[in-house]
Structure 1
Amino acid sequence: MFRLSNNLIGVLNFITFLLSVPILGGGIWLATRGGGTDCEKFLQTPMIVLGAFLMAVSLAGLVGACCRNSLLLWIYLFVMFILILLLFFFTIFAFVVTNKGAGQVVSGSGYKEYRLGDYSHWLQKRVEKTKNWAKIRTCLSDAKVCRSLQEASLSLDQFIKDNLSPIQSGCCKPPSECRFDYENATVWNKPAAGFASNNTDCETWNNDQSTLCYDCSSCKAGVIANIKDKWKKIAILNIIFLVFLVIVYSIGCCAFRNNRRDNAWKGGYP
């Protein structure tokens, strides 16, 4: 009689195999279609690698459990063990690097402003690196993150009370301390009396809709704040996923033990 642990591993890996197909297919589609943005091109390689990895691992687990192939099941368990270790250390790392930094409350406004120096040095270095920021800036421009503000036609009072995202606050407007004159959400005029702050972002701001504050430190800080929020959510999901992986790994160990017993009883290699 086929053992329960082998059945469970077989079913779980069959589901994983089905999930890998659209991931791999999506990556291949992005790679073969013409006219894709730089952001889409950036996603295609991780999607292809992840899809191929999931497909190979799930096939090894499926064949190993259902066909009583101890070698394939051992490879599957080894990869699972490495994956558990990597996720464990990444989760700890994510909590450490996202522990520092928060938006600064602006009096009388519904949004916060962000300063680059408030965040971990590791994140700062990765985002500020010229090559990395060039890609991020291109993605921000392609995604038109400021267009919704431009199209909303908000008055100054409405804009001040608006709940802007970290990226919108940092990239789509100059810092409040610069005291720019408001024309609309993405057009701000430099004050005739000069800037009230020595913040370099005041000079960096440009009303060109393809430039705005994309080269500002506040924009980089807004991106980091967004990364921090996403990483914290991912870290929490990773904890849940780790528990699931440990359970699957334990079931896989039982299936591997069953294979060894069955092979021994049949006179094969234990």
Structure 2
Amino acid sequence: MAFRLSNTLLGILNAIMFLLSVPVLGAGIWLRARADGTECERYLSAPVIALGVILMLVSLAGLVGACCRVNCFLWFFLVAVFVLIVALFAYTVFAFVVTNKGAGEAVSGRGYKEYKLEDYSNWLQKRVDNNKNWNKIRICLQDSKACKKLQEKTWTQDQFFRADLSPLESGCCKPPTSCNYTYVGGTNWTTVATTSPDPDCKAWINDGTALCYGCQSCKAGVVATVKRDWKLAAVVNIVTIVLMVIVFSVGCCAIRNNRRDNRDNGYGGGWKGRNA
């Protein structure tokens, strides 16, 4: 009996997912294997490899189940897709909850905003304020040269003050505005005696490898970046969930078709011959 539409469609979708899993897995292995890889790259390689393996296994199960009409593979595929739908939904809800609080504060006469850690959710604050976690994040920031773009700028003070800095650049690559330090160029500032109660003023160092990486404002900049990325990821997740629900529905139809075809042909296994 010819394949039904749902089986064909499911096979095509899983073939596409399998092809997508190959570069994902390859990217993870490449990050892990790089001899000169940064600490960030090694840290990120594990979830990338895991994602690639999961996508490959799930797509193979769906492909075999749909094209060879083997229901045990289709059941594995459906259970895996259902778990992914639940996990993505839970993550999306969680992301919206922990990122609904906090924003940068506009500063008079400045094109950039200032960021304070206490403005954000307690959960995010605890994650970055933990010394063990922050040491890893700090190494990532240094390895990625987060402030390199600013270090290479030849702006005047007025140009710098009008610049639209990212949360990381504002929080980690310059001292807080309340310190009233004098801008020299790049990431260099002339420190002066200040009455500001902000402890970040004392933490600021002109050394390009240190700067404000130990400041609370830098932690706030990281949290602000995470918030922006998580909100974007949550929107992408919503679209992904809708697509996965469609795939799940197609998979359910494919199982029903397999059962009907097997019953009509008088056997229960997808690989058994008609005369078995």
Contact 1:30–1:44 (8 Å) recurs in 2: yes
Q: Which residue of 1 aligns with 2:171?
A: 170
Contact 2:153–2:185 (8 Å) recurs in 1: no
Q: Which residue of 1 aligns with 2:219?
A: 220
Structure 1 residue 44: deviation in Å? 1.2
The residue type equivalent to 2:175 in the other structure is: P
The residue type equivalent to 1:205 in the other structure is: W
Q: State the TM-score, normalized to the length of structure 1.
A: 0.97
My pick for the range that moved more, 27-36 or 210-219, is 27-36
1:237 aligns with 2:236: yes
Q: Which residue of 1 aligns with 2:47?
A: 46
The 2-side partners of 1:151 and 1:30 are apart by 27
Structure 1 residue 128: deviation in Å? 1.5
The 2-side partners of 1:120 and 1:217 are apart by 15
Q: Which residue of 2 aligns with 1:91?
A: 92
Contact 1:111–1:161 (8 Å) recurs in 2: yes
Q: How does 1:129-208 map to 2 (within 5 A)?
A: 129-191=130-192, 194-208=193-207
The 1-side partners of 2:266 and 2:179 are apart by 81
Structure 1 residue 196: deviation in Å? 2.6
The 2-side partners of 1:185 and 1:204 are apart by 18
Query: Percent identity of the aligned residues?
Result: 58
Q: How does 1:6-25 map to 2 (within 5 A)?
A: 6-25=7-26
Q: Which residue of 1 aligns with 2:29?
A: 28
The 2-side partners of 1:83 and 1:36 are apart by 30
The 1-side partners of 2:52 and 2:27 are apart by 9
Contact 1:149–1:185 (8 Å) recurs in 2: yes
Structure 1 residue 175: deviation in Å? 0.3
Q: Which residue of 1 aligns with 2:272?
A: none
Q: Which residue of 2 aligns with 1:81?
A: 82
The 1-side partners of 2:45 and 2:140 are apart by 14
The 1-side partners of 2:231 and 2:68 are apart by 40
Q: Secondary structure at the match of 1:145?
A: coil
In structure 1, runs of 5+ residues without a counterpart are: none
Contact 1:179–1:196 (8 Å) recurs in 2: no
Q: Secondary structure at the match of 1:182?
A: strand
My pick for the range that moved more, 174-183 or 210-219, is 174-183
Q: Deviations over 1:66-117 (max 9, x none)?
A: 0000000001001111111111111111111000000000101100000000
The residue type equivalent to 2:117 in the other structure is: L
The residue type equivalent to 2:173 in the other structure is: C
Q: Deviations over 1:181-235 (max 9, x none)?
A: 22123111221xx213111101100111100000000000000000000100111
User: What is the root-mean-square deviation in Å for CA atoms of aligned residues?
Assistant: 1.1
Contact 1:173–1:185 (8 Å) recurs in 2: no
Q: Secondary structure at the match of 2:152?
A: helix
Q: Which residue of 1 aligns with 2:62?
A: 61
The 2-side partners of 1:186 and 1:30 are apart by 30
The 1-side partners of 2:51 and 2:91 are apart by 17
Q: Which residue of 1 aligns with 2:273?
A: none
In structure 2, runs of 5+ residues without a counterpart are: 270-276
Paired positions, count: 268
The 1-side partners of 2:22 and 2:151 are apart by 39
The 1-side partners of 2:234 and 2:25 are apart by 24
Q: Deviations over 1:148-188 (max 9, x none)?
A: 11211111000000000000000000000011122123111
Q: State the TM-score, normalized to the length of structure 2.
A: 0.95
